[in-house]
Amino acid sequence: MIQFIGRRLLLAIPVLIGILVVTFLLARAIPGDPCKSILGEKATAEACERFAENKGLNEPLPVQFGIYMGDVAQGDFGESIRFSRPVSQMLIERLPMTIELGATALIIALLIGIPLGIVAAMKHNTATDVGTMVIANVGVSMPVFWLGLLLAYMFALVLQDTVFELPPAGRLTAGLISVPFYEVWGWTVNEDSFSGNTLEFISNHFIFNALITGDWELFWDAIKHLILPAVALATIPMSVIARITRSSLLDTLGRDYVRTARAKGARERRVISRHALRNAMLPVVTVIGLQMGALLAGAVLTETVFGLAGIGTALVEAITSRDFPVIQAITVVAAGAYVFINMLVDISYAYLDPRIRLE
C-alpha cells in the first residue's frame, strides 16, 4: 500500500507543474489591461507604465514565469495587484469559507444520495424506484444559481417569522464576531510566522472555531447561514451519486456470487451490505471524486448568490479586475485540491479492491 501511495504522489508532481504553466498563461490570456481595470479607463499611458513597472508586469513572460515559479516553490503566491496585499493572506481569510461550504455540501450529498440509490436498487421497478429517480433527475436539472435564489426567497421571505426562517445571505449575523480560539485561550501568537498563519487559517473555520471555544451562539448562527448555500450546492452531486449508486448496485445484484448468497438463505439486508455494496462502490467512489471537484466550481456561483466571502467570489472579483496573482493562486489551489482528491480516490480503490494494488 505504501508503494502504491508513493507512485501516486510521484505521478502528481508533473501534473501540478503542468497546472502552474497553464494557469500562468491562461491568466494573461484574459482580455483587458489590469491597469485600466484598476486605475480606470481614463488612466494615462504614463500612469499605466508606472503601474506595470511597480507590479512587475513589464517584464517578458519567461522572466515573470521564472519569478512566479520561484515564489510558489517557497509557498508565496505574490501580491494582489488590486489590493496590494499578500495573496497567501487572502487565501487564509477566504479559503476556510469555501472548505466549510464544500464539506457540508458533500456530507449532504452522501447522506442523501447513497441511501436513495440503495433504496431505488432494492425496490427496482416499483413506485419507490420511479419516485427516487424522478427526484434525482429533477435535482440534476436545476442550476445552482436558480435553486439558490429560490431557496433564499422561500426560507427568508415566504417563511419569515416562522421556525423555518433561514438567513438568505452572509456568513454570520451582523454584529456577531468570531474570536479566534488562540485569543480565547490566551495564547501569544506571532501573526507573521508560519504557525501564526496556520492558527489563523484554522480559526477562520467559524464552525470549528466556535465548537472548540464553546461559543454555541456563534456555532448555531454559522450553521444556519450555511444550510441554504450547502443544500443548493449539494443538489446536483446528490442526484448524480444517487443515480450511479442505483445503477452500480443493480449490476452487482445480478452477479453469480450474489445469487449464491441468496440461495444459501442469507437475508436480503446482509446480501446487500456484505456482498453487493462494497463491490458496487468502485464506480460510486469515482463519481464522488469527480463531484468533489465539481463542488469547487459550483462554489463560484453559490458564494456569489448567497454573498459569501470565499475563494469563489474572490476569483470572480480577480477576473473582473485582471488580478493575475489572485487568479493564479486560486486556480492552483483548486487544481491541487482536485489532484489530491483523485489520489484519495485511487487509494480508496486499492482498499475496496486489493487486486488494484498488485497492478
User: Exposed, middle or buried by CB within 10 Å (0-12, 13-18, 19+), for 190?
Assistant: exposed
Q: Which domains does the chain have, with CATH numbers?
A: 94-175+229-358 (1.10.3720.10)
Of 358, 357, 359, which Cα lies nearest the Cα of 347? 357
Q: Average pLDDT of the chain?
A: 83
- H helices present in the chain, as ranges: 2-29, 34-39, 45-55, 61-73, 87-122, 127-141, 144-153, 181-184, 194-203, 206-213, 216-253, 256-263, 268-270, 277-306, 311-321, 324-352
Average pLDDT over residues 1-21: 77
Question: Which DSSP letter does residue 33 get?
Answer: -
At 171-217, the pLDDT tens digits run: 888 888 888 998 889 888 777 777 888 888 999 999 999 999 999 99
Which residues, in sequence order, are CB contacts of 345 under 8 Å at separation 6+?
285, 286, 288, 289
Q: Judge whether 113 and 242 are in contact, CB under 8 Å.
A: yes
Average pLDDT over residues 231-249: 90
* φ and ψ of 79, to 5 deg: -120, 140
Query: Which pLDDT value is given to residue 137?
Result: 85
At 335-359, the pLDDT tens digits run: 888 888 877 777 777 666 666 555 5
CB burial readout 120-152, b (16+ within 10 A) else e:
bbbeeeeeebeebbebbeebeeeebeebbeebb
At 34-89, the pLDDT tens digits run: 777 777 777 777 888 887 777 777 778 888 888 888 888 777 888 888 888 888 88
Average pLDDT over residues 148-152: 90
**What is the model's pTM?**
0.85
Which residue has better confidence, 104 or 289? 104
* φ and ψ of 330, to 5 deg: -65, -40
* pLDDT of residue 323 exceeding 80: yes
